[in-house]
Structure 1
C-alpha cells in the first residue's frame, strides 16, 4: 500500500512532461474520458458480490488518470500565455523589448571573464508583467517566466527576491519543455522600480546581513555557509559549485525536507516545553514554516519540502498523522497542478527523487547491509546510498557520468551538515538582535562548512571521482535498470531468512553481469576506460578538430575556448568528452573557416566573446548569431586583459601602434595566459613577419605551453621559439591535410628550443595539467593516443 501512494503523482508528472513537450495535442479530454471510464468500472466492480482482482486497482487507476488529466488541463490553459505572439515575433526579428517584472530568485553573478570595464552580469528568474516594443507603443500586460541575464543596477542597490525591475533586452525563446519561456539578454543595466514588499523585505534584509557576515570568514567555508544554512548559494563560485556537484554533495546547499523537519520539530518541542495545546503548537509551527520558506527563498525544492511539511502538520492537527510517502506524493501533485513546467526542472526532480529514495530505500538497505556490518554503520551507508541511487538516473541528463566516490564523500561530509545548518541558521536569526553573539555562532558554524568544502575539493581531485556513462534517455534508463536489478538482488534476501530461489536469482545475477560486461566492453571499445586516467585538474586542452584550432582553458569552474575548428561536430564531441557545458569566454582569433567553422556547436553556451578585427561584412555576418543571442562581443586589441577563475589573460596582438589593425592571419589575436602554475602563449595564425613585430613590442620570456602558430607552417620566426623555450608545443593539425603541416622546418625549430610537440593528428585530444603539488617536476601531459 505504501508503494502505491506516489503513483498519482508519478502519473501527473509523466502527463506534465508529455503535455509540455507536445503542445497542441488534446491530452486533457482523452485523459478525463479515461478517468471517468475507470471510475465507472470501479463503481460497477464494487457493487458486485464476488471479489475481483481489479477491485483494488480500478479506484487507483481512476485517481491516477484524474491527476494526469488535471495537469494536462493546466498545461492547455497556461501554455498560450507563456509565449505570447508579440514576444515571439520580437524574438524572431531580433527587436529589443522593454521588460518589467518581479525578481523570483537570488541573482547569481555571471561572466567575469572580461576584466576591462565590463560590468559583471547577473542571472536570475523573472516574472515579466509587462512588455513594450517601443517607447510609443502600448505596454502589454503579461505573466511570463523568463531567465534574465543583465548588468546589475548602478550604485549600491542590490537585487533581492520581490524586487521589481525594468530593462531593455533581446529575447530568445526556449523550447516548449523548458521551465522558462524565454531567455532575456539585457542591453543595458537594470533599473529598480520598487523594493520587495514588506512580507519579503524582512527576509531580504536578514539574508543580506548573513551574507555580509559570512563573507568576512575565510576560504571556501565562508562562501559555502549561506548555502548550507539558508540555501543562499549566491556566494558560491563556479569552482566550488563544480566541486560540490562532482563529489555528490550539492544537495547539502539545497534546502530540503530535512531542514523543514528540523525547524518544525524544534518549534513543536518548544511548544510542548511551555505546555501549549496541540492545535496551538501546530499553528505556531505552520507560521514558522511559512517564514522559514520565505527566508530560504521559494525555489522548487524549497516549495516541495515546505508543502510536504505543511501536509504532515495538517495531518497532526486533525489527529490523523500520515506517512512521509503519501505527503511527498500529495505535495508533488499539488505543485505540478499549479505549475506543470516544474516537471522539467532538474532541481525539483532531484529534490523529489532524493526524498523518495530516503523514504523508500533507507530502511531496506540498512537491513540488507546490516547482515555484513554493525547496524549504525549500515544505517550511515544506507542514507547516502539511497539518495544517490534515486538521483543518479536524473543526474545522467545533466552530465553523463556516474559518481564512484559520492557515498564516501557523503559519509565524510554528512555528519557536519546538520551542525553547519543549525548553527548557521541560529546565527542568522541572532544577528539583528545580538550581533556579537550571532557572529560568534556563525564563526562556529564556519568550521563544519569549511570541512564540507574541503571534502568536496579533495574528492574532486581524486581519480575516478566521475566515471563516463551513456548520456540521454538511453543512459538514464540503462542506469535505472541496472540499479533496480542490483537493489532487487540485494533486498530480496533481506526481508526473509529462507534461501532465495536458485534459478531466478542466478538468472538475474547473470543478466546483471552480462549487462555490465557488455557495457564495459563498449567502453573499452570506445576508449572510455582510458579516459579514467585523464588528469581531473587539466588546465589546457587541445581538441582534435581536424585541420584547425580549438583550445580550451579552464580554472575555478570557468572555461574559455580559443577558436572553434572547421566544423561543429568535432568541436561538440570534444566539449561533450570533457563535460564542458558553458563557455565563459570565447576567443575568435580571426575569421578563417578553420577557426570559426564550428561556431554552431556553441549555441546557447557562450557568455562573452572576444574577437579579432573584422575585414568586412562577411566577418560581421559570422558574428551575427552571437549578437542575436545577446552575447556581449568585444574586439580584441593589444592591452586588453581579464580573468578566468584564477588565471589572468592579456591580449598581446594585434597592435595599433603602427597604424590600422591588420586582419586575417597577420592580425589574428595572440593571448598570453598565466596562473595555476602554468604560463601559456597562444599564437593563432601569425606568420614570421608578425611574430617579429610582436617581439619588438613585447618583452616575451619563457613560457610553459605554446600554441604553435598557423598549424605548424614553415612561415615562423625561429628566434621566437628560442626565446619562449616552452616545455610543451600544441599543434592543431589534421591528418593528411594537404599543406604539409606541421613542416619539418617548424618541428626543427621546436626541437632546437627544447619544446616537445603534441599534434592533434597524431595524439588526438591533449590535456595539460599543472605540476604536482609542491611545485617540482614537469607539467603533466595526457594524450588520447600515444602518437609517434
Structure 2
C-alpha cells in the first residue's frame, strides 16, 4: 500500500517562526520582527479576501505574531542583557548558575610524560539573578573538570569567575571562565540522578565487555554520550558522513518506540497495550538520556516519528511536526540555530516523508516488514541530515550514502540493545553484560564501516562550515535532485558526473593535495604574525609555535592539516601577533601545556594568556631545556634564565626576549626565531651555540633588523618568511631578502604562497596564493 498523502498547511507557519528566530539570531532581532510582520500582512490579506487557502492563513497569522512576540522580543532582550555588558568589560564576579545540560569534557593532550586527559569541561547554563549579577541570561561555563564535571542538569552552584564576551549567533550573553571548585551546590532531582547512574552503568559495562573503541561508541550511539569516544573514531565518522549517529535525535526515540511496538505486536498485544508499551519505552529512553532540553526536544520529535512509522497516521504527523517546531522555537528561540534541533527535525521529517515509502518499496521486493522498516529509518535520516552534517564538520563526504546504507542494518539493533542494557544494569548486571556483548558486533561493524569509508582517497572534500555552509549544502542538494528529476537536465548531470570521474578524480590522484604527505613543519598563513606547526610521529598530533594575530587563520590551517591533538602550544613572546589565536586553539584542541619564556610584557597580554590557559599548565622554559615527543625534539637556545624583558616604546626588548627553538624534525633541523632583533642575534652568535639548521623561520617577519653574521651561522637551505600581504611595516625588507640570497638560501613567503610546508630534503611546498 502506498503511504498516505500529507497535510502541508501548517508547514508555512513553522517556517515563519523558525526562519524568524534563525535570522534574528544570526543577523539582527529586527530581521525576526520583519519576518513576523510580513507573515501577518500576508495572512491578513488572504483572510480579508476570503479566498481558498483561508484555513492555512490563520496559522500563518498566529506564526507571524509569535515571530514578533516572543521570538524577536527574546532575541532583543538577550542583546541588551546586563550580563553582556559586564562580559564585554571582562570583570571578575561571583556568579550563581543553573546547569542546563550535562557538562561536556574538553580533552587535553599529554605533556612531558603527563598523560592526556580531561582537565576542564564546558557547561551550558543559565545565570541565577543575584544582586551582584542581575541577570537570568544564558551563559556558557568553562570550568575545571574535577568537581564541575559531576554536576547534573538542574543543579545550581556558585562560582568565582571572570566573564568574557559570548560567541555570537545564539542567546548566550556571556562566557564564564571559572577558576575554582563550585560552592553552595544544591542536590540534583531524582530523575537526573537516576539518568546519571544509568549512563554510568552503561559506560562501565561497555568498558568491561567491549574493546576501547566499541566501548566508547556504544554510549555515543545510544544516548549521544561521546565522553569516551576516541578522537580517531570521531574523525572517521565525520569523514564518512555518519556524524548524525552520535547525536540524540528524534530518530533514536523513534527506533526505540518502534521496536517496542513491533515486539508487542509480535506478542499479539492489543492496540492500546502496544501503544502504551511503546510510550513507556520512549519514557525510559528519556530517563536514560537525561531529561534536559535537548533530550526533551528529541522526545517530542520521536513521538511524531513513532506516529508516522507505527500508528499509520502519516497524514496527521506532518502537521504535528509543524506544531512541535512552532512550540519549541517559540519557547526557546535558540533552538533555531541548534545543530541538534535541526538534526532532530530533519531526521523526523525523513521518518515522516521518506521512510514509509522506502519501507513499502523494500517490502515489494520481498524484504520482511520489520527488516524493511529497520533499514528505511536510518537511511532516510541520513539523507535529510547530510547538509547539516556538512555544515557541522566543514566537509562533504562523498562516501556518505554508501557508508550509511552499509551501516543502516545494525544501527537500530545496537541502539535497542544498548538502551535495554542501560535500563537493566542496576538490577541485573549479568544480563546487561550479555546485552552489551550482543551489541558488540554491531558497534564493531560501524567502526569498521567508518574506518574503511574514511580511508577512501578523496572520501571528503572541504566545505564551508557553520550554518551558511549547511544552507549552501542543502541548496546544492536540492538543485541536484531537481536536475536529476527533470528530463532536460538529467543528461547534463550525467555528463558532469562522467567529467568528474574522467578529469577531477585523476587530477586529484596525480597532483598532491593538501597537506602534502610526509610534511614535517607547516608555516601557516596567519597574516602579519607567526603560526608554525611541527609534526610528531603520532598521526594528527602536532606542536604549535605561536598562534597569529587572530583566531580564524590558524584554526583553518590546523583543520586543513587534519590535526586531532595539539601536544603543546609554544608562545615565543607576548606580542599580539603571536598570541591572538590562543583562545581558539585551546578551545578546539586543548594542549598538554602552554609554553612561554621568562618575559611577562606587555602586562595585558600576560594576563590574557594566563586567563585563557585556565586549567592548562603554563610552563616557563629558558635556554638549555629540551622538549621531546616521538619524532620531534625541541631545544631552547634563548633566552637564558633571568633574561626577562622590560616594556619599551618600540617593543625591541620584548622581541629580543623571544624564545628561540631548534626543532629536530623529519625534514632536518628547523630554527624558530620568534621576533629576535640584532641584540639577541648577536648574543646567540657570541654564545657559540650550534645554530646550523636546514630551515630557518626568518626573525621578525623579515624586518631590516637582521644580522648577516647570524644568518651565516645558521647557513639555511630554506628561509621562511611569515608575513602578511601589503603590511604597513614594509616586511619583508629587500635588504634582508638579498642577504638570504647571497648565502644561497631559498626563500618562501606566506604572503605570496599561503601555507608553506616543509618536507624531507628539505623540500618546500606552498598551498597556493591566499
Q: TM-score range by the shorter chain?
A: 0.7 to 0.9
Partner of residue 203, structure 1: 195
Deviations along 1:289-336, one digit per CA (max 9) or x if unpaired, are: 223113113566643431133356789999967554344323222211
1:140-151 matched pairs, under 5 angstroms: 140=134, 142-151=135-144
Partner of residue 669, structure 1: 659
1:705-724 matched pairs, under 5 angstroms: 714-716=708-710
Q: Would you say the 8 A contact 2:166–2:172 is kept in 1?
A: yes
Q: Would you say the 8 A contact 1:31–1:69 is kept in 2?
A: no
1:129 aligns with 2:152: no
Partner of residue 278, structure 2: 285
Paired with 1:536 and 1:390, the residues of 2 have a C-alpha distance of 35
Paired with 1:537 and 1:454, the residues of 2 have a C-alpha distance of 25
**Which of 174, 180, 192 is equivalent to 1:182?**
174
1:10 aligns with 2:29: no
Deviations along 1:377-411, one digit per CA (max 9) or x if unpaired, are: 99999877755553344445445532212223223
Deviation at 1:76, TM superposition (A): 4.5
Deviation at 1:239, TM superposition (A): 4.1
Paired with 2:519 and 2:366, the residues of 1 have a C-alpha distance of 41
1:573-722 matched pairs, under 5 angstroms: 574=557, 586-591=569-574, 595=578, 610=594, 612-613=596-597, 619-622=602-605, 634=618, 636-638=620-622, 652=636, 654=638, 657=641, 664-670=654-660, 683-685=672-674, 714-716=708-710
1:765 aligns with 2:755: yes
**Which of 85, 88, 107 is equivalent to 1:89?**
85
Deviations along 1:183-214, one digit per CA (max 9) or x if unpaired, are: 21113233460232112211111111222333
Partner of residue 552, structure 1: 533
Deviation at 1:364, TM superposition (A): 7.3
Structure 2: tracts of 5 or more residues without a match: 647-652, 726-730
In structure 2, relative to structure 1, the CA distance for the partners of 1:275 and 1:375 (3 Å cut) is closer
Paired with 2:104 and 2:667, the residues of 1 have a C-alpha distance of 29
Deviation at 1:253, TM superposition (A): 1.2
Q: Would you say the 8 A contact 2:755–2:767 is kept in 1?
A: yes
The count of corresponding residues between Structure 1 and Structure 2 is 729
Paired with 2:246 and 2:55, the residues of 1 have a C-alpha distance of 40
Paired with 1:210 and 1:551, the residues of 2 have a C-alpha distance of 42
The DSSP-based 3-state class of the residue aligned with 1:484 is helix
Partner of residue 435, structure 2: 441
Deviations along 1:674-700, one digit per CA (max 9) or x if unpaired, are: 99x89986623365566579997xxx9
Partner of residue 498, structure 1: none
Deviation at 1:468, TM superposition (A): 3.2
Paired with 1:362 and 1:395, the residues of 2 have a C-alpha distance of 19
**Which of 146, 160, 163 is equivalent to 2:155?**
163
Paired with 2:397 and 2:174, the residues of 1 have a C-alpha distance of 32
In structure 2, relative to structure 1, the CA distance for the partners of 1:317 and 1:594 (3 Å cut) is closer
Report the TM-score when normalising by structure 1: 0.74
The DSSP-based 3-state class of the residue aligned with 2:227 is coil
Q: Would you say the 8 A contact 1:369–1:378 is kept in 2?
A: yes
Higher mean C-alpha deviation, range 459-468 or range 92-101 = 459-468
Paired with 2:609 and 2:282, the residues of 1 have a C-alpha distance of 45
Structure 1: tracts of 5 or more residues without a match: 46-54, 134-138, 493-504, 751-755, 770-776
The DSSP-based 3-state class of the residue aligned with 2:175 is strand
Partner of residue 235, structure 1: 228
Paired with 1:198 and 1:409, the residues of 2 have a C-alpha distance of 40
Deviations along 1:91-114, one digit per CA (max 9) or x if unpaired, are: 232222222233222222225257
Deviations along 1:9-37, one digit per CA (max 9) or x if unpaired, are: 22221122234443257559836853762
1:265-344 matched pairs, under 5 angstroms: 265-269=258-262, 271-272=264-265, 277-298=270-291, 302-311=295-304, 322=315, 324-344=317-337
The DSSP-based 3-state class of the residue aligned with 1:7 is helix
The DSSP-based 3-state class of the residue aligned with 1:188 is coil
Paired with 2:231 and 2:187, the residues of 1 have a C-alpha distance of 29
The DSSP-based 3-state class of the residue aligned with 1:243 is helix
In structure 2, relative to structure 1, the CA distance for the partners of 1:734 and 1:219 (3 Å cut) is same
Higher mean C-alpha deviation, range 310-319 or range 585-594 = 310-319
Q: CA RMSD in A?
A: 5.4
Higher mean C-alpha deviation, range 444-453 or range 660-669 = 660-669
The DSSP-based 3-state class of the residue aligned with 2:98 is strand
Deviation at 1:589, TM superposition (A): 0.8
Deviations along 1:637-662, one digit per CA (max 9) or x if unpaired, are: 24999999x99887736565566579
Partner of residue 541, structure 1: 522
Q: Would you say the 8 A contact 1:213–1:439 is kept in 2?
A: yes
Partner of residue 412, structure 2: 418
In structure 2, relative to structure 1, the CA distance for the partners of 1:41 and 1:602 (3 Å cut) is farther
1:30 aligns with 2:37: yes
Deviation at 1:129, TM superposition (A): 2.1
In structure 2, relative to structure 1, the CA distance for the partners of 1:219 and 1:657 (3 Å cut) is same
Paired with 1:309 and 1:569, the residues of 2 have a C-alpha distance of 37
The DSSP-based 3-state class of the residue aligned with 2:188 is coil
In structure 2, relative to structure 1, the CA distance for the partners of 1:243 and 1:623 (3 Å cut) is farther
Deviation at 1:90, TM superposition (A): 1.9
Partner of residue 109, structure 1: 105
Partner of residue 650, structure 2: none
**Which of 464, 484, 488 is equivalent to 1:490?**
484
